[in-house]
Structure 1
Amino acid sequence: MNIEQFYPLFLQSDKVTIDSRKVGRNDIFFAFSGENFNAATLAEKAADDGALAVIVEDQEFENKDRNIFYVPSTLEFLQQLAVYHRNQLKIPVIGLTGSNGKTTTKEIIHAVLSEKFNVQYTSGNLNNHIGVPLTILSIKSEHEMAVVEMGANHQKEIELLCTISQPDFGYITNFGKAHLEGFGGFDGVIKGKSELYDYLKTHHKTIIVNENDPIQAEKAGSYTPKITFGKDTSDYQFGLFSEEHFVGVEYKNSKAVSKLTGEYNFTNLCAAASLGLHFGISFEEIKHAVENYTPTNMRSQVVKKENTILVLDTYNANPSSMTASLHNFVTFEGSKAIIIGDMLELGEESVKEHQDILKLAHELAFDQIITVGKYFKAANSSSLSFENTAELIAYLKQNKIHAENILLKGSRGIALEKSIEFI
């Protein structure tokens, strides 16, 4: 079975999935196997469930009469199929990466562009070597644009994802202290994320640049084509303002206030607005998109619970995003408590970075500081330091936090959101 032979069958399908529990009629199921499980054993069941085709990498389970096909590697076949499909598409693809704010920026860009176009975009956090091909394969003939989020925790990963998604436009949200262990330090982060710019330059595609970010400005240099924002000489100039806890963007005396907290989201709004304006979307339409976008993904999300304001930012954390969150949260009016969880994948920098964040939290004089995770516990001599979220929940069941504002911020692996119902 080769890609050219299989592609007509793919075009007949409704969707591609790697989850056997989600196989429906007319789907294509890629049977990915792990160290302890051979998904090819589910091939016949997937066919029984109505799968149009099943791809396995165990020849024993091939059954061409039922469209169960053997390939040497399901991953490579998935990626090659995505590349082949991408080469047939005649629509602009926007690629996003960065240390912080990727998903929020993707969501806002999708909201803005959807004011005028039928836009496909990355679902959830399907932004890796499997998720990006799945996103590309989800693009149908009715779609007029696509927004593809690309995540990475080591060098050369963005390069690979670019060869699959082949973006026509690209934006790096920022360069922060994320995945330091995999990238080999902050310089490695810059080099790894900049692989998006490298691809765009090589293929003469368009770079989107926040000219207030010195690293972005340096990496973009005098290259064209590019779309710029941030300075008086940029293509687009925006003003920052806030209403209550929420950040807004102003353009030519018209204002749009989001439901996102934190000035760090301002550049995310600017990137989305710049793309919207570039594609002929009026700022009134952009305002409608921004003001109607409601975050529900534990990223800069503000919710009210009884008489308490909760800021939920539990999807990810690194020293850069944690610092920004704490500086933003200290501006809230009223008493403030923070529940901060470990920042993972920092390697040799873990101890120092956790100590620095804890020091900052004390300097900002929050009314209550609660930490969760082994790194913060090692740095925090307070009794309000817990090894894991289960210990935190046990404490919360017996002790109410009386602050008017509570921030929850931590890495995905800490799962602080499990404690929300007990606050």
Structure 2
Amino acid sequence: MLTVEDILKASGGVLLQGNPTARIGELSIDSRTIEKGDIFLAIKGERYDGHNFIAEALRKGAVGIVISRKIKVKGKESIIYVGDTVKALQDIAHFHRRKFEIPIVAIAGSNGKTTTKDILSRIFSQRMKVLSSEKSFNNEIGVPLTLLRLSGEHQIAVMEIEMNNRGGISRLAALSRPTAGIITNTGHAHLRFFNSFDEIASSRGELLETMGEDGISIVNVDDAKKDLFFRKAKGKVVTFGIKERADFQGKITKDSGWATSFILNDAVEIKLSVPGHGNPYNALAAAAAATVFGMSLEEIKRGIEKFRPSPMRMEILSKGTLKIINDAYNANPESMKIAINVLASVPARGRRVAILGDMLELGVWSNIAHRNVGKLLASSPIDVLVTVGNEAAHIAEEASGHGKEVFICSTTEEAEKKIARIIKSDDLILVKGSRALQMEKIVDVLSSLPIFN
């Protein structure tokens, strides 16, 4: 539990009114979830300014507020003024993190962070109380919110770290102080914010640099940028991979499309019930980290085999004879290709349908990245393509004329209406696009069509 004095000390803020020794419940940035006794930190975001919700937070029982804009408040609640509430949130989280000596595993990479985190948390939870970051809480706000959930009952923490600028991962690693860091892979996610693929890889490697000589770096030996990560690692390096020799070696023994079995280090066969050729790598990364912290092969096997993906991440849904691959959470060039290959390779009763939205944050590379996806589709056994958004239209342009039905939609709403008319009961459907498009709404429409209920 924090006190007002703790927040002042951590953030360097100024107490405009209130009792510095007052204890508070939780620190919250969301007025909708405030509970009596909490303190509300007002963050100004792209769409909302938390300062506009201070009155609501106080009505719900907040005992204090942290602000970066001076506001008059009637009452005796504590008011703390800081120059930047986002930085204050990070400083408070760092202050809180230093109270606990528990190990933290931080995960960075272009793809597979959440899956790796969830598999590893599943393994650890067999023996330990685990703090795991919620959803994709991996940025300058999500990481400190995760750290603030640390309590004396936790024995280990697993969290994602991601940023869209140089130095961002360094800052988040510095405040979270990870014991071990995993780099899942290097892809083209967030390319808009960097000048080159090398810069993206270098930004991921900041995690390994920041940990120092005591940190344990867990690296994908099959990744194109592995040598860069080896150079950035200052402490022990543990490798995982399938193609190249690694400390944690996977050998694929069976791939049904829907699930993959592999032998780990010639010792134990593990069945991973999630489609996608990237997921065995995520399982191997989790196995490496689990072993570092003392988990047995039996526990690793059991944890991986019990793992099921989070919603909207290669989530398989069945509605009668209709089957949906719900991978709607986000998209970048690598994850889009993986998802298309899954759609092309798994068994299908009827048509294979790809409903694909824009891949955002690609900057000047957006056009060619979308066209490359279209070229992949042109040569794949996909029967129907529906694109959503202006950038995804380039996918359709490349895929047209190759014996496929192609429909171009500008918005998710337009796609919903189109899909309701063209989907058949035996279709196998992939839904994928960047987060901003909210492609899960299309999944909801598919699930509600009367012919499948």
TM-score, with structure 1 as normaliser: 0.91
1:132 corresponds to which letter in structure 2? V
1:406 corresponds to which letter in structure 2? I
Counterparts of 2:353 and 2:48 in 1: how far apart (Å)? Answer: 44
2:408 counterpart residue number? 385
Is 2:131 aligned against 1:120? yes
Q: Could you report, residue by residue, the CA deviation over 1:100-130 in whole angstroms, capped at 9, with x for unpaired residues?
A: 1111111111111111111112111221111
1:387 corresponds to which letter in structure 2? S
User: Aligned ranges for residues 66-81 of structure 1 at < 5 Å?
Assistant: 66-81=77-92
* Helix, strand or coil at the partner of 2:278: helix
Q: Extract unaligned runs of 5+ from structure 2.
A: 11-18, 401-405, 447-453
1:368 counterpart residue number? 384
**CA 1:35/1:318 → structure 2, altered by over 3 Å: closer, same or farther?**
closer
* Helix, strand or coil at the partner of 1:88: coil
Counterparts of 1:42 and 1:58 in 2: how far apart (Å)? Answer: 13
Counterparts of 2:276 and 2:63 in 1: how far apart (Å)? Answer: 46
Is 2:290 aligned against 1:276? yes
Counterparts of 2:49 and 2:434 in 1: how far apart (Å)? Answer: 30
How many Å apart are 1:302 and its aligned residue? 1.5
**CA 1:36/1:125 → structure 2, altered by over 3 Å: closer, same or farther?**
closer
2:147 counterpart residue number? 136
Q: Which stretch of structure 1 is more off in the superposition, 352-361 or 218-227?
A: 218-227
* Helix, strand or coil at the partner of 2:313: coil
Let me know the Cα RMSD of the aligned residues: 2.7
Counterparts of 1:35 and 1:156 in 2: how far apart (Å)? Answer: 21
Q: Extract unaligned runs of 5+ from structure 1.
A: none
Counterparts of 1:285 and 1:368 in 2: how far apart (Å)? Answer: 42
2:436 counterpart residue number? 413
* Helix, strand or coil at the partner of 2:271: strand
1:286 counterpart residue number? 300
Q: Which stretch of structure 1 is more off in the superposition, 178-187 or 6-15?
A: 6-15
How many Å apart are 1:217 and its aligned residue? 4.2
Q: Is contact 2:186–2:223 with CA below 8 Å preserved after alignment?
A: no
User: Aligned ranges for residues 274-423 of structure 1 at < 5 Å?
Assistant: 274-334=288-348, 335-378=351-394, 380-381=396-397, 383-401=406-424, 404-423=427-446
Q: Is contact 2:140–2:163 with CA below 8 Å preserved after alignment?
A: no
2:281 corresponds to which letter in structure 1? T
1:365 corresponds to which letter in structure 2? P
* Helix, strand or coil at the partner of 1:302: strand
* Helix, strand or coil at the partner of 2:153: coil
How many Å apart are 1:4 and its aligned residue? 6.6
How many Å apart are 1:35 and its aligned residue? 7.5
* Helix, strand or coil at the partner of 1:167: coil
How many Å apart are 1:237 and its aligned residue? 2.6
Q: Which of 89, 106, 110 lines up with 1:95 in the alignment? A: 106
Q: Is contact 1:110–1:121 with CA below 8 Å preserved after alignment?
A: yes
Counterparts of 1:254 and 1:98 in 2: how far apart (Å)? Answer: 27
2:214 counterpart residue number? 204
Q: Is contact 1:170–1:207 with CA below 8 Å preserved after alignment?
A: yes
- 4+ residue runs over 6 A deviation: 7-11
Q: Which stretch of structure 1 is more off in the superposition, 314-323 or 38-47?
A: 38-47
Q: Is contact 1:211–1:234 with CA below 8 Å preserved after alignment?
A: yes
1:247 counterpart residue number? 260
1:150 counterpart residue number? 161
How many Å apart are 1:83 and its aligned residue? 1.3
User: Aligned ranges for residues 2-17 of structure 1 at < 5 Å?
Assistant: 3=6, 13-17=24-28
Counterparts of 2:239 and 2:407 in 1: how far apart (Å)? Answer: 45
Q: Which of 226, 230, 244 lines up with 1:220 in the alignment? A: 230
Q: Is contact 1:28–1:53 with CA below 8 Å preserved after alignment?
A: yes
Counterparts of 2:56 and 2:191 in 1: how far apart (Å)? Answer: 42
User: Alignment identity in percent?
Assistant: 31
2:248 counterpart residue number? 236
Q: Which stretch of structure 1 is more off in the superposition, 229-238 or 370-379?
A: 229-238
Counterparts of 1:93 and 1:11 in 2: how far apart (Å)? Answer: 30
Q: Which stretch of structure 1 is more off in the superposition, 411-420 or 51-60?
A: 51-60
The structure richer in helix per residue is 1
**CA 1:386/1:60 → structure 2, altered by over 3 Å: closer, same or farther?**
closer
2:255 corresponds to which letter in structure 1? S
Q: Is contact 2:202–2:228 with CA below 8 Å preserved after alignment?
A: no
1:70 corresponds to which letter in structure 2? Y
1:212 corresponds to which letter in structure 2? D
